[in-house]
Amino acid sequence: MRDTRAALLLQAETLVRRRGYAGFSYADLAETVGIRKASIHHHFATKSDLAHALVAAYDARYDAALAGIRADEPDAIGRIAAYGALYLGGVEAGLGCLCAVLAIEGEALPASLRADIVGFFEKHIAWLEGVLAEGIAAGCVRASVEPGPTARMVIAALEGALLMERLLAGPAGFRGTLTALCDGLRAAGSVPTGVSSHRIDTI
């Protein structure tokens, strides 16, 4: 049995992450999946329905990854390094972050989709804020770090690095940024931890 809906979601996601939301068409998607254009409408009535489903699936995958990192990595800096490694997967595959791509085209997008994206980012900011606060309490993160603004700065740096290094220096460039980022957060006495092996499942 062939799960067409899943194939559509998978291929649509890579198309959006490669070329943007306005940059791919139902015709493109139909061709890569090997189905007729009209049949896509059977699964996703409109393009924005498809986009919603895309964000929901992406968000769910990240939820799982975030929970996994929290469970596997005891150290705050290790958790942030592992979180950054999720983005590294995108650089390696030549794919931007789905939500960053959609955020950039924000103005031209349906408002409900924008709300989904805001929710995605705010969830990640809250997660990082918690990680940083715990890290400060445990003494592995610099005491002068403010968890709120720094959480925003961390995710901004990773989103920005994914955006840039995909075109510039690739994975090597991204790893440099991630290391510089972690080094700036670590408390003076704390020992660096290695790069984690966390991966976002699909793609």
Partner DNA sequence: GTTGTTCTACCAATTAGTCGGTAGATTTCC
Partner DNA sequence: GGAAATCTACCGACTAATTGGTAGAACAAC
Binding residues (CB under 7 A) for DNA: these are 2, 4-5, 24-28, 35-39, 41-43, 45-48
Structure token pair of residue 165: 């290094």
Residue 133 interacts, among DNA, its own copies, none and using kind-specific CB cut-offs from 5 to 8 Å, with: none
CB 31 to its own copies: min, Å: 15
Q: Which of 11, 8, 107, 127 is nearest to 62 (CA)?
A: 127
The residue whose two tokens read 């950039």 is 104
Coil/strand/helix, residue 25: coil
Binding residues for its own copies, per CB under 8 A?
A: 18-23, 94, 96, 100-101, 103-108, 114, 117-118, 121-122, 144-146, 148-150, 152-153, 155-161, 163-169, 173, 176-177, 179-181, 183-185
Residue 53 interacts, among its own copies, DNA, none and using kind-specific CB cut-offs from 5 to 8 Å, with: none
CB 4 to its own copies: min, Å: 25
Note whether 29 and 11 are within 8 A (CB).
Answer: yes
CA atoms within 13 A on the CB side of 35: 20
